Structures are given as C-alpha cells and as structure tokens.
Structure 1
Amino acid sequence: MEAGVPSPPERLDGQAADPSSAGVNRQISVSEFSCHCCYDILVDPTTLNCGHSFCRHCLALWWAASKKNECPECREKWEGFPKVNILLRDAIEKLFPDATKQRKEDIQQNPDASDSLTAFQKYGTEQTPAAPNTGRIIPRGGGFFSGVLTALTCVAVVLLGYHWSSRELEDDLLVHKPVAKWTAEEVVHWLEQLGPWTSLYKERFLLERVNGRLLLTLTDEDFSKAPYHVENSSHRKAILMELERVKTLGVKPPQNLWEYKAVHPGKSLFLLYALKSSPRLTMLYLYLFDYTDVFLPFIHTICPVQEEEFEDIIAKLLDLKEPAWKQWQEFSIKYLFLPYQLVAEFAWDWLAVHYWTSRFIIVNAMLLSVLELFSFWRLWSRRELKTIPHRMWSHFWKVSTQGFLMAIFWPVIPQFVCNCLFYWALYFNPVINIDLVVKEVRRLETQVL
C-alpha cells in the first residue's frame, strides 16, 4: 500500500467494503422513482397502507374509475384517506427538478386528471379516518347533527300530515265553490279572512242569514245602514273591494299560500322550487306574467309606503296602485343584492296568519343567503369572476328549460305527487340546507387551515 493513499474501509468481517456502497459515485435514475400506474416520475407521491406509492392524480383516476379503496397494484384496501408522502415528494423534486416540473405541466393540461383530483379531494374532505381495525371510512356529520336532522324531519312529516288533513279541506272549499251557492256560515268564514276587525260585524251577518246570493246584491249604502252598521269607511271599502273581486271571479280569490296552491297547483310548485334556486329570475317572471295578482301585492308588502290608508294585511293586498318611485328603488337594491331577504320580509308580514310556515320560509331564506354568499366567495377566491356572465346564462337556460318541461308534463302529474313535492320543498328543504351550510363551513375551515 503506497503512502498517502487511503485504504478502503473494512467491514466487520475484516474484508474491504465496495467503495461504491457509500453512494458517492452511484448515479440515481428517474426510473427508481417511477409510478407503477403511469410509469413516469412520481408527482405528489401518495403512499398507501400497503407501502406502494403512486402519483396522486393516478390514484385519483383509479379511484374515479373503480370506485374502490384499493391499491392499484396489490388490491389491498387502504384505511382512512391517503395523504401525500411529503418526504418522498421533496426528495424527488430536489433530485429531478426539471423532470418534475415538466410532468406537472403535462398533468395540468389533462382535464380528466384535474377533474378526478377535484372529485378525489372532495371525497376526502367529506370523510374522517377509518375506525380502528377496520377499513371502513366513517362519513362526517354524524352524531348530534344526524339526530337533529332526524328530529326535524319527523316534525316536518307531522306538519305535512296536519296541513293535508285540516287546513286544505277548510280553505280549499270557497276558492272552488261558486259564490251564489255559499251558505251563511261560509259567508262569515269569507268575512273573517279579511282581518281581525271583521269580528265587529260577523254576528250581524249571521243574524241576517246572509248567504252567497244575498251577498252579491249588497252595496255601499246597504253596508252603511241597518242592520249591518259598517260605519268605518275603511272597513266598508275593504269589504266592497274584496266583494268586487268575488263577483269578477265567481269564487273566492286566493288570499294565502294554501288557497293559492289549491287554485294553481302547478304554478305554486314551480314558484316554490324556482325561488330556491333562482330568486331573481322568479321575481322577473312574476313581474312579466303575473303582475297584478302576485307581483303588486308582493312589492306593496315588502316595500310599503310610509303613509298607508289601511293597517290590515288584506288592505295592503287590495291596494293595487302602481308602486311609487321609492318603492321601486328599495326593491331594486334588495333584488340585486339580497333577493332572499325579500322573501323573508314577505313571510315575516304573514307571521300572524301562518305562524310555523312563515318561520320555515324565513329560516330557509337565511340559509339560502348564506349558501349564495359561499358561492360568491368561491368565485372570488378562485379568481373566476369573469365566468359569472357565462354561469348566469347557463343557469337561465337551465331554469327556462325546466319550466318549459314542467308546463308540458304538468297536466299528467297526479295531485298527490304535487302535494308531496310542494310540502317537501316547503318543510324539508330548510333541513337539507342546514346540512349544506355545515358542509360549506367545514370546507372553508379546511381551506383556511
């Protein structure tokens, strides 16, 4: 051994070790860090419980195609939700920066890979780690919230049965029965619905046995003198205005949600579902095609004038004058920025008439406002504001198509199906929207963390 030349290292058994085992002169190839799905360099390597590692987008494509939580190579089920192997990822990016960069660019240009990754990540955010010693993934949102959801669903079922059995049978009668065939009791029932102030006069109508035929002959002069003695001019005007509507239609005009549904079952269902998904388009539809009967009472209720001649709800609904400029101004601002608030304000004005139903509608309007806020936040955070016109047009086309199909097929849909869909949208949707808001909050928390 010459002086100055270091001797090779010795092993424990006394033999000289191979200098290449130290890794100094050994070249590491890309093939040693290749994915067994695409056989290219690993990008965002994800290691499963079995020890095999794959590109994350390859694993997402495999999951999207098979819908199985299995290793693509050995078919062993994974537990929990696979995470990126950070140590392996950093090592590959430091060893092969150019190859990794080129591979990432190729993946970004592949729409299937991007869509699969998005679906895979969404699936992961909705899951929690698997239960110990099992491969089963436990979904989030169980426990207390599931119990509340079940309880609210039971309450909705009870309310549904109650309205089907009682309110509809009582209120649907006069909106279908000709006024000339009304009995004295039915005339008093019609009078009571004009407002609480009618309690001053209903006994007089009963004593005189005013039936439908006699009601049609009464004039302003008859109401002002004996035996009716309706001396209050505002009350007398309200009765006469509603009586004119009865004479025009021949039946009692609908004055609440249930009566409107009884007269227009398909239209009420369409408006209920349309308000949920597209409140602005729905109000525009009412303005264009149902201005006098629905839109005018709506705007006079949510944007009332300061000086009102009458104080009762029925008086506001009968005041069909053109809205003032201030009313249009207030309506336009809320229409653009807070459309669900308009629905909530309208329901609030009817608390005394529909106590629980109004509260369901108000809660649902609040939840839908929150969901709309989350939608705008996602567009803002992803810098997709330029896509809003395209999204609006797509949404308009979708709603218009659905409305056209409903107009065609509605006559053949049974009334029972209509009732089921109507009460589902009215009472069950708020419960479903609670779950959607909870998921959005959790997704936002995940993004922040």
Structure 2
Amino acid sequence: MEEDETLQSETERAEVETCTTPEVSRQLSSSEFLCHCCYDILVNPTTLNCGHSFCRHCLALWWVSSKKNECPECREKWEGFPKVNILLRDVIEKLFSDAIEQRKEDIQQNSDIAHSLATFQKYGNDQIPTVPNTGRINPRGGGFFSGVLTALTCVAVKELFFLSPLPPFCFHSQVVLLGYHWSSREYEDLLVHKPVAKWTSEEVIRWLEQLGPWASHYKERFLLEKVNGRLLLTLTEEDFTKEPYSIENSNHRKAIMEELECVKTLGVKPPQNLWEYKAVNPGKSLFLLYALKSSPRLSMLYLYVFDYAEAFLPFIHTICPLQEDKYEAIVPKLLDLKDPSWKQWREFIVKYLFLPYQLIAEFAWDWLDVHYWTSRFIIVNAMLLSVLELFSFWRLWSRRELKTLPQRMWRHFWKVSTQGLLVAIFWPFIPQFVCNCLFYWALYFNPIINIDLVVKEVRRLETQVH
C-alpha cells in the first residue's frame, strides 16, 4: 500500500514538472491562484471540504478572529483539521517561485501571523478525535447551542435568587449594579467621538486593524512610520503604492481609501460595530432595541422611511447580501450605501411579512465574529419572540378572531406611536445611567423572560389539548 502511494505521489510530481513548460507558464498568471482572503498569490494553500483554497496563514487569521470552523468564502463548515494541499503548493511554487519567496519573507516578519499560525496549529494538535461512523469533530465550544445554554444558565441563576432567603429586590439590585458596571465600562476613548486629527499612532493602528484580518500585513509599516491622525489625513492612494507603505494589492488600497474618505468626511471614525453605533446613537439604539422586540415590522418600516442611508441600507445588505464583487468581502459592514437590487427586495419583503424576527437573527448571526456573546443572546431572543408570535396567531385562529386582526393591528400601531412620541419628548431628561440599565436589561435579560413566557404558552396549549 505504501509503495502504491509513493508511486502515485511521484507520478503526480512528474506530471507537475511536465506541465511547467514555458508554453504553459505563459498561459497561466498569478491571478488564477489568488487567495480570496488576502487577494494575493496562495502561500501554503490549504483546501477545505467545500473545495475553496486559502493561504494557511489567512485561514489561521480568520479562525483566530472568528472562532468558527467555516469557509471564509461560502461559510460551509469544514470537518477535521485542514491540511496544506501539497500538489497545489508545488505547482504554485514552481510557476511563481520569486513571488512566493517574497511573500514568505513578508509573512515571517509579521508577529501577528506567527502567533495566529501557532494558535491554529495548537488547535489542530488538541483536536478531539472524530466520532466513529460520522467523521465529525466534537465542537470545542461556541455555536448556536452555546447561546441557548447560556440563556438557560441565566434562568437558573435567576431562580436561585428568587428561591434564596433574600428578598426579590436583591435580584433587582444586582441587575442595577450590573447595569452600572456595564455603563462605567463605556469606552471614553472611542474613535467615533475623537477627531481624526487628534489620533495617536496607536489609534491609527486600531483603526487599520478594524478593516479586516488582511490589514495586519501593513501594521508594522504604519508603526515604523509613526502615522498619526494628521499624517493619515494627508496620505493619498499614490502614497500607499510607494515606500514605506508599499501596498501593492489594489483591493487593499481601495478598501483603505474608501474608509479614509469616510473618516475625512465625518472628521471621526464611522461606526463599524454595534457598540460604536450605540456610542454615536444612544437614544436611537435604545429605541430600536425595544421597538424591534415589540413591533419588528413597524420598526423596519421606520428605518426605511426615516433612517434609510445610515441604518436600513447596512441592514438589508447584511441580511440579503449579493455576492457580486470580491472587493465587497473587505468593505466594512456598516458602510455599504448602494441601493438594493430587486432580488434583495424580494427576499427581504417575504421575510419581513412572515419571519421578521428571523431578519434580526440573521443580522446578529453575521456579527458573531465581532460580538461573540451578544449576538447569541439576540439570536435566542429572536427565536423565542418568533415562537410567541406564532402562539398569538394560533390563539386568534383557535378562537376564530381573525376578523379582529385589523383592529388589533391599528391599536398596536397607535400604542407604539404614542409611546415613541413620549420617549422622544422626555428622552433629553432621562439620565444616561438609566438608559444604559434599560438597554442592557432589554439586551441580556429579555431572553430569560421570554423563555418563561414560552413555557407558559406551551403549558396552556397542553391544557387546552387535554
């Protein structure tokens, strides 16, 4: 058996050497062997189960940042621990030896890449053996189920508080203290508040790193030049092509320039994650959190009518994406301002009418790599709210009260509008600490309450059936 495998390997190598004639080399270009993470020629190409190949260090950076065993391109789960595609590696190194050597030198000088590769390899060495007859790896942690488990754990903690000799107000005081703790941790040095001209070189690096894992290739160059906010504002795309930056990849330059133009226009860093959006729009964040819970369809209609460019467009591009351009994968998620296509509108309207909470869950799912636990709480809450809405329609159907649905919808619309108007009037007088307590209560404790409501509805349904 070993002799057969050796003979097959030698045959494959002979075929590679035969194919690398000058005629074939002239027909091939490095653009046909690009990694879809860094958009540069593949180094130690690693092929996943889905068939897509990436640089091994790019896959390591992706795994370290996202903690997900998914293909960075098609998001299909990969099984086992990915290995280097030896045949593809030998072909690329023989065809483009100079480019590969240069890339390997650049990679070796990057400490972040070395750390990510070591972490990724350690994960492979610590891999739990596959389950017999399935070929699947027992997950190391995370995933959708961990969010459910977390919510159930919180329920258990809540029950312990209420079953203990302590009075119920002790639990609520714990919630207030927790809210105060989170409130006190609000970042005072968020770049979304600090003028770009006052950024330090460390803050410029923080801004650069948030553009994506590929930006780590240029971190050392910015540090050596001590690029602060004032210098950053003077840089042009032509400067990035020259020394000392030498950003040869056109897609990377384009992404940096797009973000830099936004920074120049706003004077500060535009929000690129949910916490930064909350810091810039605290009142709107609290309003949307409660509005999406109680009336998701009206809330999305509000975003479309009154907040189209800033909130609705990033929302619809996230939940109904169009994979048209490779460059889109490296554009920050909250900066896509293109009008949706008809295909996107069609998908959105169907889900908007029948599964509104699924849209919220899909949006949170896309942010799992940035907001690991928060996204899971939102997904669990959306799932529970969908079940509660289904129970509400079932009650109307069983009681033959569907004719009253328009009246109920109008009353609900009037109630939500009145509450929104009152909040808009009294919002300036509400202390920030109170707003933060309400925000974190709705975000992290509402799933616990909704679990209890779902259990009650199930018991009520069982009683009716029996």
With structure 1 as the length reference, what TM-score do the two structures score? 0.64
Query: Which 5+ residue runs of structure 1 have no aligned equivalent?
Result: 1-143
> Which residue type is aligned with residue 395 of structure 1?
H
**Which of 390, 414, 425 lines up with 2:431 in the alignment?**
414
When the two chains are superposed, the root-mean-square deviation of aligned CA atoms in Å is 2.3
Output one character per residue of 1:323-378: Cα deviation in whole Å (capped at 9) or x when no partner: 11100000000000000000000100010000000000000000000000000000
- In the alignment, is residue 147 of structure 1 matched against residue 165 of structure 2? no
Q: Distance in 1 between matches of 2:252 and 2:177?
A: 38
What count of residue pairs does the alignment treat as equivalent? Answer: 304
State the shift of 1:147 in Å.
3.3
AA of the residue aligned to 2:277: Y
**Over alpha carbons, which structure has the higher Rg?**
1
1:415-430 equivalences under 5 Å are: 415-430=432-447
Task: Name the aligned partner's letter for residue 358 of structure 2.
Answer: Q
- Contact kept, 8 Å, 1:195 with 1:312, in 2: the verdict is no
Q: How does 1:271-286 map to 2 (within 5 A)?
A: 271-286=288-303
Cα distance between partner residues in 2 of 1:409 and 1:361: 27
Matches within 5 A, 1:45-444: 147=156, 149-150=158-159, 163-166=182-185, 168-169=186-187, 173-310=190-327, 312=329, 314-444=331-461
8 A Cα contact 1:241 1:318, kept in partner? no
Query: Higher relative contact order by CA 8 Å / sep ≥ 6: 1 or 2?
Result: 2
- Taking the aligned partners of 1:400 and 1:146, their CA distance within structure 2 comes to 32
Are the counterparts in 1 of residues 272 and 332 from structure 2 also a CA contact under 8 Å?
A: no
What per-residue deviation string (whole Å, max 9, x for no partner) do you get for residues 83-120 of structure 1? xxxxxxxxxxxxxxxxxxxxxxxxxxxxxxxxxxxxxx
Distance in structure 1 (CA, Å) of the matches to 2:326 and 2:178: 36
Q: CA deviation at 1:251?
A: 1.1
Say if 1:364 and 1:433, in contact at 8 Å, map to a contact too: yes
What is the CA–CA distance in structure 2 between the aligned matches of 1:145 and 1:177, rounded to whole Å? Answer: 36
Give the deviation of 1:309 after TM superposition: 2.7
The one-letter code of the counterpart of 1:342 is L
Q: Give CA deviations for 1:250-300 in whole Å, capped at 9, x if unaligned.
A: 111111111111111111100000000000000011111111111111111
Q: Quick one: distance in 2 between partners of 1:147 and 1:299?
A: 36
Give distance in 1, aligned partners of 2:224 and 2:179: 37
1:231-257 C-alpha deviation (Å, 9 max, x unpaired): 222221111111111111111111111
What corresponds to 2:60 in structure 1?
A: none
Cα gap change, 1:156 to 1:199, in 2 (>3 Å): farther
Q: Is the 8 A contact 1:156 1:428 kept in 2?
A: no
What is the DSSP-based 3-state SS (H/G/I as helix, E as strand, rest coil) of the residue aligned with 1:353? Answer: coil
Letter in 1 for 2:437: C
Q: Which amino acid in 1 is paired with 2:156?
A: G
Offset of 1:151 from its aligned partner?
6.5
Runs (5+) with no aligned partner, structure 2: 1-152, 162-170
CA contact (8 A) 1:179 1:246 kept: yes
Rounded to whole Å, the distance in 2 between the matches of 1:240 and 1:328 is 29
Of the structure 1 ranges 355-364 and 221-230, higher mean CA displacement relative to structure 2 is found in: 221-230
Q: Does 1:448 align with 2:465?
A: yes
Check conservation: 2:211, 2:331, Cα contact below 8 A. yes
User: Alpha-carbon deviation of 1:312?
Assistant: 3.5
Find the aligned partners of 1:190 and 1:406 in 2 and give their Cα distance: 34
The residue matched to 2:384 in structure 1 has which SS?
Answer: helix
What TM-score, normalized by structure 2, do the two folds share? 0.62
The answer (yes or no) to whether the contact 1:156–1:427 under 8 Å persists in 2 is: no
Shift of 1:193: 1.2
C-alpha separation in 2, matches of 1:150 and 1:157: 18
- Superposed displacement of residue 194, structure 1: 1.3
> Residue by residue, what CA displacement relative to the aligned partner does 1:15-48 show, whole Å, maximum 9, x if unpaired?
xxxxxxxxxxxxxxxxxxxxxxxxxxxxxxxxxx
Report percent identity of matched pairs. Answer: 79
